[in-house]
Amino acid sequence: MPQKISTITARVWRGDSSGGRYEQYEVPAKDSQTVLDVVTWIQRKIDPNLTYRFSCRVGMCGSCAMTVNGKPRWTCRTHVEKVLEDGAITIDPLRNLPVVKDLACDLTEFFSKWIKAEGRFVPKARRNDPIQIISPRDKRRQEANTGIECINCAVCYAACDVVENNEDYLGPAALNRAWTLVNDVRDGGNKERLRAVSGIGGCQNCHSQQGCTSHCPNTLNPTRSIAGLKRAAFSAALKGEI
């Protein structure tokens, strides 16, 4: 039975894009406390200037993603007692993204890469065309379904070494999204999409480290999706389509 502790030590990064430092806070320990609870307590009881993001606080929106003891995770879904190291936790903003202030990052590049990867549906059918029937047993639909639960929380982006070392790299989330659309038989934008995901920053830069897969809170597998894109791009290139 672990010893019951009354306070935890939270080291929180404070600063902005020009730099910062860690501030230490002593926070009362509570049952079933999450890291988001800790951050919220600090902002309400100690320092109202602490900047952070959250929304649903129940693991659905992905807004509260931060780095906890070095790993990117949803803070509302991270129980403090599971990550405490010697009675302390360290909280940083997500890696690989510019910091706005304290624990809030600027997600602009993350979302613009989603667009760059042509991660948007291009309809083929017109209003009066019959509804296209797609069986849930369809192999391509099943492949798409493995990736569509992405809520764009940027945890995978923060976990990826290639994103860190290659500023053009579109990243796991954008590529995963593109793969779900490549497998969507209703979509008509694959030519442009395959070109987009195999250009500079494309899928071929992935080293399959699976940092994305091992950290995705929705248990998605961007490495698998990116491997699929590699195959699709390879064939398309051989056929001279891209």
* Contact residues: other proteins, CB under 8 A: 67, 69-72, 95, 158-159, 161-162, 165-166, 168, 198-200, 202, 204-205, 207-211, 214-215, 221, 223-224, 227-228, 230-231, 233-234, 237-238, 242
Q: How far apart are CA 205 and CA 92, in angstroms?
A: 27
**C-alpha distance across the termini of the chain, in Å:** 61
Half-sphere exposure (Cβ direction) of 184: Cα atoms closer than 13 Å: 22
Q: Tell me, what amino acid is at 144?
A: A
Q: What angle do CA 221, 34, 99 make, to 5 degrees?
A: 65
57 or 71: CB nearest other proteins: 71
Specify the residue, 152 or 198, whose C-beta has the smaller distance to other proteins: 198
Shortest spacing between CB 48 and other proteins, in angstroms: 30
Both structure tokens of 130: 């019959």
Residue count of the chain, please give it: 242
Nearer to other proteins, 27 or 229 (CB): 229
In the bound complex, what is the minimum distance in angstroms from residue 2's beta carbon to other proteins?
21
Question: Closer CB to other proteins, residue 47 or residue 143?
Answer: 143
Closest distance between other proteins and the C-beta of residue 47, in Å? 26
CB of 140 to other proteins, least distance (A): 13
**Which one, of 172, 183, 175, 203, lies nearest residue 118 by Cα?**
175
CB of 177 to other proteins, least distance (A): 17
Nearer to other proteins (CB atom), residue 191 or residue 207 = 207
Neighbours of 117 (CB within 10 A): 26
- For 191, the enclosing helix (H) or strand (E) is helix 190-196
